[in-house]
Amino acid sequence: MNKKQLLKKQIHQKELQIKKLHLHQTASDVCNQLCNTLILEKAILKKELEELEKNPLIEAVKRAFTKKEKLICDYWQ
Tell me the per-residue pLDDT of 33-65, one tens digit each, with 9 for 90 and over.
888 899 999 999 999 999 888 888 888 888 888
Q: What are phi and psi of 39, to 5 degrees?
A: -65, -40
Give the structural domain span for 54. 3-76
pTM over 0.85: no
Name the domain count of the chain: 1
